[in-house]
């Protein structure tokens, strides 16, 4: 479970993980490298919101790295891959009941590795297919979607210029933080990849030390349509640009942490 939301393409750094957790991640890493489908054992990140209520949608993650440090502690990184929907009850259970198909290692190892894990059934969510279905069901939406999607380009450029040139924005780590983030994000998806563009904006504004907008990733994850995602992304960009301009105008430092 995660106290804040992650979107596809973002990385979750995990420090001082247990040896049992590290062992499970390394096994999953082997499965992923062998091309195991989502129907096999996988990592599902469940996002908690107010009152620790989990969202019905979450994120499937792959194991980016598992490493034991010189002092003996373990660190790991998970890479958010795609949106998933929880379709089965989530049970606080052991490995034996949660995944009878994975018969590797000893009984003792399996139970140790699953200690405290939540087991659930999930299915992938294809946002591109949902975008296309939305257009089929309501063709009049297409013009609004394209209009909102094209509006993101100048807003993103304005936001980037403000962050790059501002004298009052203080990046948490270094002045190269933004450029490193942009390199990791890649280019803004095409105009007609509506949900992908909205999710890209969510990764731009909210990850790690670049939080210069209100939290909107969970809203993007819960959105029922591409139209709603684009409204959320556009609103977050407008809000962030306004706050950046206000900080610049009044000379009030805006700490990005």
Estimate the crossing angle of helix 226-250 against helix 127-137, to 10 degrees. Answer: 110
Evaluate whether 63 touches 24 at the Cβ level (below 8 Å).
Answer: no
What's the rounded mean pLDDT across residues 126-152? Answer: 88
96 pLDDT higher than 70: no
| pLDDT single digits (tens) 216-240 | 888 898 888 999 999 999 999 998 8
94, 124, 154 - which closes a domain: 124
CA-closest candidate to residue 55, choices 46, 42, 64, 68: 46
How many C-beta atoms lie closer than 10 Å to residue 173's C-beta?
Answer: 12
Task: Give the range among 16-30, 60-74, 124-138, 241-255 with minimum mean pLDDT.
Answer: 241-255
Q: What's the CA gap between 75 and 25, in Å, rounded? A: 11
Average pLDDT, the chain: 77
Distance set, CA 67 to CA 22, 72, 238 (Å): 8, 10, 40
Evaluate whether 193 touches 127 at the Cβ level (below 8 Å).
Answer: no
Token representation of residue 4: 């804040």
| Total domains, the chain | 2
Q: Do residues 133 and 251 both lie within one domain? A: yes
CA-closest candidate to residue 193, choices 242, 114, 134, 122: 134
Residue 104: CATH number of its domain: 2.30.130
Token representation of residue 138: 């309501």
In eight-state DSSP terms, residue 210 is G
Q: Do residues 99 and 43 both lie within one domain? A: yes
Residue of higher predicted confidence among 88 and 114? 88
The pTM assigned to this predicted structure is: 0.75
Domain around 220? 127-255
Q: Do residues 56 and 89 both lie within one domain? A: yes
Q: Do residues 110 and 135 both lie within one domain? A: no
124, 152, 180 - which closes a domain: 124
């Amino acid at each position: 479970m995660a106290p804040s939301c992650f979107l596809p393409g973002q990385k979750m750094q995990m420090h001082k993980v247990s040896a049992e957790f590290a062992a499970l991640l390394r096994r999953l890493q082997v499965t992923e490298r062998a091309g195991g489908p989502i129907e096999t054992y996988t990592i599902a990140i469940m996002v908690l919101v107010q009152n620790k209520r989990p969202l019905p949608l979450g994120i499937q993650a792959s194991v980016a790295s598992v490493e034991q440090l010189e002092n003996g502690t373990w660190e790991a990184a998970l890479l958010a891959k795609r949106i998933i929907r929880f379709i089965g009850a989530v049970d606080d259970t052991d490995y034996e009941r949660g995944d009878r198909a994975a018969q590797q290692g000893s009984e003792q190892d399996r139970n140790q590795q699953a200690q405290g894990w939540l087991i659930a059934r999930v299915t992938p969510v294809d946002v591109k297919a949902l975008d296309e279905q939305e257009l089929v069901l309501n063709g009049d939406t297409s013009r609004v979607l394209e209009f909102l999607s094209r509006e993101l380009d100048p807003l993103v450029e304005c936001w980037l210029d403000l962050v790059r040139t501002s004298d009052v924005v203080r990046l948490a780590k270094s002045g190269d933080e933004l450029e490193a983030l942009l390199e990791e994000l890649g280019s803004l998806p095409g105009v007609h990849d509506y949900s992908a563009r909205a999710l890209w904006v969510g990764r731009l504004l909210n990850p790690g030390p670049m939080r210069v907008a209100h939290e909107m990733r969970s809203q993007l994850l819960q959105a029922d349509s591409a139209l709603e995602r684009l409204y959320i992304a556009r609103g977050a960009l407008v809000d962030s640009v306004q706050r950046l301009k206000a900080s610049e105008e009044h000379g009030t430092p805006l700490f990005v942490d």
